[in-house]
Chain A
């Protein structure tokens, strides 16, 4: 933990890990050393369910630019969904 910059947020949804799909409980968002990306620090997101142990994890490690672009894109998609009347009704 070299930067210790981390936030944990409760999430509702599913993730696909090495043993298949599982229910997500939290996402840990950190800016710290990645395990695989060739960056000294990355924006790391670990989608986890701690009740299933440390292996229930879906991980991404993004550059700062990629992370910011992803956030913008998620918000754009949600805006489009809202404009099309797909949000708030719980329908698939």
Chain B
């Protein structure tokens, strides 16, 4: 817990890292100053791209004591404003799941190799990033905790599968290698409460450690203070749940 008489310093900068297929991509890294050892977080950005909200989320986790890296999952789409790049990815039907998992695994290896890491790494994502975070926690061994905030399309019907998303993330649940925290709005259309029920049932079936929190009066993206979807009391409580969960598994 931060106290007003504490010294606090953060270092935040763009770095390059090795992602899927050995590709070098860029990433945003923020870390507390000091020798550590610190736990680490990987942030999987949302559909609107590698944007300001994810920069701020990166600082936020670092402020709470985590070495935090947010890889640019849209690096290969070219460069421009985050919106323009994300619009290109949206027009192309998203990014391949395998590529996202490879980039997120690369980010995990990057932070866990830092000399001030305590060796524990969590992963957090919202929207498509929640889905990518879940996929990474199932497919890439080494994560110690995953936070899925309203990840849509974790539950996919067969007719939604395609070359980029060949397997419903739900079907990987047996391979989930760490505890999961799920944060959802009961007014969300994607995932619907029924899909969240399905996800929870699958976790239960495989004996996974999970904690789901579902908020009334909130829909999709209710942490986003810059958007109409923001719900202040639910967002404040949700962030508290996130940090309590991470403290339990990463410290």
Contact = CB atoms under 8 A, between A and B. Distances in A.
A40 B220 contact: yes
B91 A35 contact: no
Contacts, number: 82
Contact of B228 (A4, A35, A38, A48): A38
B152 A2 contact: yes
A1 interface: yes
Given A6-B93, A28-B90, A30-B91, A1 B84 contact: no
B81 A38 contact: no
A33 B152 CA distance: 12
Contact of B227 (A8, A28, A38, A55): A38
Given A2-B47, A2-B220, A54 B90 contact: no
A2 B87 contact: no
Nearest to B188: A40
A33 B47 contact: yes
Interface residues of A, number: 25
B72 interface: no
Contacts of A6: 90-93
B47 A57 contact: no
A1 B91 CA distance: 10
Nearest to B187: A40
A40 B219 contact: yes
A33 B93 CA distance: 13
Interface of A: 1-4, 6, 8, 26, 28, 30, 32-33, 35, 38-41, 44, 46, 48, 50, 53-55, 57, 59
Given A3-B190, A33-B48, A40-B189, 16 more contacts: A1-B93, A1-B128, A2-B220, A4-B153, A4-B165, A32-B90, A33-B47, A35-B83, A35-B87, A40-B229, A46-B90, A53-B79, A53-B80, A54-B77, A54-B80, A55-B81
Interface of B: 47-48, 77-81, 83-95, 127-128, 152-153, 160, 165, 189-190, 219-221, 227-229
